[in-house]
């Protein structure tokens, strides 16, 4: 199971600090969503990834209101700017839910390495407007290409969402989610100072199907002795 | 003087003439930004185009956000964001986010764009771009309000009366093209100053290559010509047809670009830059980055501007 740390409360305005905590705790990445002052998660993702090495940076991207080609270009640019560490997590834009599926289809087409055309209810790409007399393209190729083989473009079902309320309770819910619904990637909303606990007490307990008897007790004794040594 | 010079134009292109690894171009953007900051220059500027074979960056503000994380003081500009092609609320969100993360280091330049293919892909009519610019700029300024500090105001690109009037009315700076010189430059500066509601900044762009070597200068001119022949030949509508189908029109444009190029020793470049400063221009946006300028040469050019050209301009008007 792969774990992303999602900032909560006032820490949503401090994504670099949260990302550093996630990296130090051995977590896989962070999940960034829009906040009042950081309203464009893809911009935040570019900045955070450049500030903190190695970490995956997931950014929630609203689809359905803005033109999907414009949004796809932002995703692809940020994928390049983060050296392929972006995970774009699509969600329906508020008030534009009915256009989400169409927008997602266009973004998926835009992230491939071939020219495409799309004719839907809300968008036609390219529009082939008679007034654009010097536009002769029947297909468009969106650039730049993804930094790696493919753009990581996910939506709701690809990423489970949880919140931290103590290691034992979270472990129980993550195991249950894995068994019930096949959870493999989970974003955990938690304060940065809980990252270490998630890294040490949660992450090791949710990787394997079962653990040898005695291993969890051994881990606890190790953590205790480490703590008393400090 | 260093605080009145920005370097441009990072486009992230991997062209037929100068193939490059696109991931490497993005990685180097951060390295280049660190160098430009270390040299004490004001800013680094990116451009926007879309849907072209060479990967030209369509989202310069997003690319700049990553580079900004590698710097502490350097400002990042767009010359230009093609504002009619964007959702203004989304762009305002991106600008506010960038400013918040970087301590207010965005220099947002906006222009019209001109390629029908770009407009058409986005479902927009190019012939309505003026109206769209007016609407989107109003919305942008409303959603991303300027601080008292005029560094927060967008730049409007252009030299047409409507661009000057628009920049002045919205309290924006005015970024002039390099073709504007002599009396027309002085008149344009005066027209903007007369119309401006706030003491906004006036910038001008210039293609620059600093070298003492005549052979290198000649080679640069030839490469610049090839570069713009591709861009104008493929994109510019000249008399109703695209450039390659209008060889005479294309040739005129290329001659104009060659005339505007400031190439030669630092003293000669500085002498040529003194004219716009004397005409009342506040800010010089010097284009040293092209697809065909390799990375080592690009870094040499940045140093040559900061340490060769800028000191020779130090006696010009002090910063506003």
Number of independent structural domains in chain A: 1
pLDDT digits (tens, 9 = 90+) for A89-107: 999 999 999 999 999 999 9
Show me where the domains of chain B are located.
2-208+265-313, 213-264
pLDDT digits (tens, 9 = 90+) for B259-318: 999 999 999 999 999 999 999 999 999 999 999 999 999 999 999 999 999 999 976 544
Whether residue A192 is predicted with pLDDT greater than 70 in this model: the reply is: yes
pLDDT digits (tens, 9 = 90+) for A211-229: 999 999 999 999 999 889 8
B123 touches chain A (CB under 8 A): yes
Distance between A133 CA and the closest CA of chain B, angstroms: 7
pLDDT of B318: 47
**CATH assignment at residue A168:** 3.20.20.30
Angstrom distance (rounded) from CA A171 to CA A188: 11
Angstrom distance (rounded) from CA B118 to CA B9: 20
pLDDT digits (tens, 9 = 90+) for B4-42: 999 999 999 999 999 999 999 999 999 999 999 999 999
**Sign of the alpha-carbon torsion through B177, B179, B180, B182:** positive
Going by pLDDT thresholds of 50, 70 and 90, the confidence category of residue B151 is low
* Residue position matching structure tokens 């989610």: A177
| Boundaries of domain holding A147 | 2-229
Whether residue B180 is predicted with pLDDT greater than 80 in this model: the reply is: yes
B105 touches chain A (CB under 8 A): no
pLDDT digits (tens, 9 = 90+) for A75-94: 999 999 999 999 999 999 99
B65 touches chain A (CB under 8 A): yes
Q: Does domain B2-208+265-313 match CATH 3.40.50.300?
A: no
* Residue position matching structure tokens 């927008």: A103
User: What value does the mean pLDDT take over residues A114-134?
Assistant: 97
Share of chain A above pLDDT 70, in %: 100
Angstrom distance (rounded) from CA B23 to CA A146: 9
Candidate from A83, A123, A143 with C-beta closest to B56: A143
A143 touches chain B (CB under 8 A): yes
Are the C-beta atoms of B162 and B191 separated by less than 8 Å?
A: no
pLDDT of B316: 53
* Cβ-proximal residues to B85 (8 Å cutoff; 6+ apart), any chain: A70, B50, B113, B118, B119, B122, B124
Chain A contact probe: residue of B123, B136, B145 with most A CBs at under 10 A: B123
Distance between A221 CA and the closest CA of chain B, angstroms: 40
Dig out the tokens for B77 from the structure.
Answer: 């500009």
A188 touches chain B (CB under 8 A): no
Are the C-beta atoms of B6 and B42 separated by less than 8 Å?
A: yes
Specify burial of residue A167 (Cβ count, 10 A radius: 0-12, 13-18, 19+): middle
A134 touches chain B (CB under 8 A): yes
B26 touches chain A (CB under 8 A): yes
Task: Please tell me which residue, B92 or B150, carries the higher pLDDT value.
Answer: B92
User: What value does the mean pLDDT take over residues A186-209?
Assistant: 98
* Cβ-proximal residues to A211 (8 Å cutoff; 6+ apart), any chain: A205
Size of interface A-B (CB pairs under 8 A): 170
B257-270 CB burial, b ≥16 within 10 A, e <16: beebbbbbbbebbb
Candidate from B58, B69, B96 with C-beta closest to A143: B58
- List CB contacts (< 8 A) between A124 and chain B: 123
Going by pLDDT thresholds of 50, 70 and 90, the confidence category of residue B146 is low
pLDDT of B149: 60
pLDDT digits (tens, 9 = 90+) for B196-235: 988 889 999 999 999 999 999 999 999 999 999 999 999 9
Distance between A130 CA and the closest CA of chain B, angstroms: 9
Q: What is the mean pLDDT of chain B?
A: 95
Task: Please tell me which residue, B239 or B125, carries the higher pLDDT value.
Answer: B125
User: What value does the mean pLDDT take over residues B80-93?
Assistant: 97
Tell me if ipTM is over 0.95. Answer: yes
Distance between B244 CA and the closest CA of chain A, angstroms: 13
Specify burial of residue B32 (Cβ count, 10 A radius: 0-12, 13-18, 19+): buried
pLDDT of B48: 98
């Amino acid at each position: 199971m792969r774990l992303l740390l999602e900032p909560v409360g006032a820490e949503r305005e401090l994504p670099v600090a949260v990302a550093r905590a996630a990296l130090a705790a051995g977590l896989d990445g962070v999940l960034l969503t829009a906040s009042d002052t950081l309203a464009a998660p893809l911009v935040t993702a570019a900045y955070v990834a450049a500030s903190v090495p190695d970490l995956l940076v997931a950014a929630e991207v609203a689809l359905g209101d803005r033109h999907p080609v414009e949004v796809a270009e932002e995703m692809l640019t940020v994928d390049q700017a983060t050296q392929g560490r972006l995970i774009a997590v699509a969600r329906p834009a508020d008030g534009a839910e009915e256009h989400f599926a169409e927008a997602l289809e266009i973004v998926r087409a835009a992230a491939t390495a071939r020219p495409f055309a799309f004719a839907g209810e809300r968008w036609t790409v390219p529009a082939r407007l008679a007034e654009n007399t010097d536009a002769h393209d029947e297909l468009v190729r969106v650039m730049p290409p993804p930094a790696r083989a493919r753009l990581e473009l996910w939506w709701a079902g690809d990423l489970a969402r949880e919140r931290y309320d103590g290691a034992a309770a979270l472990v129980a819910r993550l195991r249950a989610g894995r068994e019930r619904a096949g959870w493999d990637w989970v974003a955990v909303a938690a304060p940065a100072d809980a990252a270490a606990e998630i890294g040490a007490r949660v992450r090791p307990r949710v990787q394997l199907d079962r653990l040898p008897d005695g291993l969890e007790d051994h881990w606890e004794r190790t953590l205790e002795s480490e703590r008393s040594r400090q | 003087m260093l605080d009145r010079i920005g370097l441009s134009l990072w486009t992230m292109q991997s062209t037929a003439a100068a193939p490059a690894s696109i991931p490497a171009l993005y990685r180097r953007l951060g390295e280049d930004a660190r160098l430009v900051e270390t040299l004490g220059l004001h800013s680094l500027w990116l451009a926007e185009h879309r849907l072209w074979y060479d990967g030209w960056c369509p989202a310069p503000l997003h690319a700049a956000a990553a580079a900004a994380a590698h710097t502490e003081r350097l400002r990042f500009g767009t010359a230009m964001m093609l504002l009619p092609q964007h959702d203004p609320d989304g762009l305002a969100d991106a600008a506010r986010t960038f400013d918040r993360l970087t301590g207010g280091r965005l220099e947002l330049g906006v222009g019209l764009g001109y390629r029908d293919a770009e407009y058409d892909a986005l479902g927009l009519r190019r012939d309505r771009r003026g109206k769209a610019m007016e609407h989107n700029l109003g919305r942008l300024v409303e959603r991303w309000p300027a601080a008292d500090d005029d560094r927060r105001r967008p730049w409007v690109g252009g030299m047409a009366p409507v661009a000057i009037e628009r920049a002045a009315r919205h309290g924006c700076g005015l970024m002039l093209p390099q073709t504007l010189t002599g009396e027309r430059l002085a008149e344009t500066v005066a027209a903007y100053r007369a119309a401006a509601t706030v003491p906004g900044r006036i910038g001008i762009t210039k293609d620059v290559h600093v070298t003492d070597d005549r052979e290198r200068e000649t080679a640069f001119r030839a490469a610049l010509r090839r570069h713009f022949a591709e861009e104008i030949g493929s994109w510019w509508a000249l008399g109703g047809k695209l450039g390659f189908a209008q060889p005479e029109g294309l040739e005129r444009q290329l001659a104009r670009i060659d005339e505007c190029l400031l190439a030669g020793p630092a003293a000669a470049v500085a002498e040529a830059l003194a004219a716009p400063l004397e005409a009342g221009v506040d800010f010089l946006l010097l284009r040293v980055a092209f697809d065909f300028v390799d990375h080592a040469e690009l870094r040499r050019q940045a140093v040559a501007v900061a340490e060769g050209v800028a000191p020779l301009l130090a006696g010009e008007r002090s910063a506003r």
